[in-house]
Chain A
């Protein structure tokens, strides 16, 4: 099957890209791993179950900007009904092969789901909207049951209306901790503390960026009111530095941080809880960007991101990137980027029913909007860095890579004994990132630890060596083999010794 444009991901960026590309007259396929649109940000209860029950009341609970999603979703479904968008749910791309006139995507159903998608699709343009996921820092005890990514806690609340515990500590950095904490409180969970590693005074220094996104102001006030209402203590320059328990979380140690991110001696204290939600910003999901061979760089928040131009084109012809993968900036920016990428592709294809002059005006407006939102995102990143000396919270026994059970101590040995100077060498000698998740969880931490060993800032090479995955999703050898004709025997009888 061949399309004008294939969009990967049906979160805020992908949804906006799909509906705008289709409304511009392009033939569109939308590929997404989820069973329903919205991505992580607009995760919501099962639509089929709600339809069967005859009510969508409560669907938007805990959401911001739900109206924007409802509008995009309605347009998507209308376009799908008309046949203007092919929307393949429960489908992952495991291989991307850019070509001279079209790019090929190889598809596989997500685990335990049926997919109606074919095994391969080609399109003249690809818009990658893979989104991002919570960035984690390994700390002592983070592998205990009851410790979750802040985004995971929120996904359970939004998608399943399930609170993951009864007494929670929310820790990390950034504004995302606020909706997680207030969401838990609204669901009846006692939030013992929010531990924000940075200080809101960081905002003052970055006021220029902040005031450029005025709609964030009221949102902040809303959270402040919610924190007051639920009596949630908001502790700044404070981090969860260790988690305690035998079979599950029983308590955490929270401590005040010095300016460099190390623990201020004597400030540690124990807080009982059964749920810990941790979030240190976000990691962009870059498998397909890297597999396509597109250029990447380190962003202000130390995340590896795709390098794109003002039309969101990557360094690979025919491959655009929109949303968190171009720099973490939140859902509003992702929607702008999705629309921008789609309209630029439409303009390039010369296929707008509205005419290219109108299109040019819309593109220019979106570009200005994107710049404004990007300035805000940069200000947020500058105000909420990962503490420089977070490594000092670790003990030799702290597990860094959970798949391969690699401890911080063994990374230190790989450095001091074996001469590993970079993340790739750490991986070669000690195996972090070699297991099931292929570095999706420990990649940032390992790159950051390598940079700390080398006494340098986190480098793009270190992040890349932990993020590069030839197969973007696991695929069975049988599926791989199906790309070539089957052979009856392992040996060619004519090729003896």
Chain B
């Protein structure tokens, strides 16, 4: 083995350590601060906590199942029709919900399914006496599927894209029907990544806060995250906040452990990758079904976004775009988002490379704890509430530096950490596939280090890297940051400005800013798609 390969586990370990320090440091510092303070701790670990813990799990599991169950056929349909009209635009649209602040999404969803929404208007127009009532579990599930169906679809699709073209050629030559193709070709790839994707969605939903409270209809719908916020913010009971965070972590690990059992890794064959082209000619029935599925996905995701766009267009966009604070916020968001995305990509790549290296080295032995940690551990950062990380580091740093000056660093690192699970899942299938195809060849030819990265890995990775960067940046663009406690006078992001206007009656301004935010995100996806494919083309052109 060459030196560069043996460095991979070290890189992975460092990446993991970084995340552990970010979350663990905050928790530890809070725990120390809490000692000697007055606390309720788990004293009221009563029926209330039990109830909200149960509700948290149930809504997250249901949201996850629904999102994944819909995403698998949708991703298959999108993959089977590379020439579906507007396909590229649909995929970009699917990245938008990620960048929308929860409140904007909630208002978009109510503009369709609410008591005064499009659906209600349709009922009225049809002379029906029904008012849609989504407040409760229904509303929560609609919102969570709105956020996660497009995400899951894109992630599954990126797995399907890593299937070598020869498979489809062969399947078509052998005259495989749809079911056989699914079972023999698609499922091994989907299944291998599915538990990870499901886990990611589960974690996103377990920490849901604004959506659960606003659409939940009352305190019956309360998540642990609400209790953590309440403990830290309203009650200033640090010990309780730490205990609840640990409880949330443990529950998540338990559920992920159960989920992990289902994803049996399959071995992958060796093939030279060209552009994915499907050779199968689906029968008309399948075509119609796939078309219907894609249309459903488009309508389901597109309508609330359209609602947001309509409200946004009612705003005085010209005035907004002539305001200096708006431009400053756009600039701040772009700079912070790009930094977070870059950092997140570096860490994710280290994790992905180390995991594949270890998996490759152990051959048929069961994965070690370290390998599993590389896979899942990084994602756990998502269930440590940003307010907890913020408070912990505030306490820790106030003795050494002015906490205000740390604000940009904290925003970037927390946003980067939160984006890692996404970036990791986008990069992993491509990296693993590329590695399994090239490892032996490269070893035979003695291609390693920089040369291998430039000639072999880069062409295969350029596109997923571009997509992962855009995703991570979109996620950071929509995020408010963790800096409630790191008050700082010089950073003001776009979502911050949006919520500030929303919080002072300026609803129209807020809608206009949401439109600008969505537009930025779409632009980002387009640039990433175009740029990455061009890069990949030039590189492979050079090779040939």
A, B bound = no
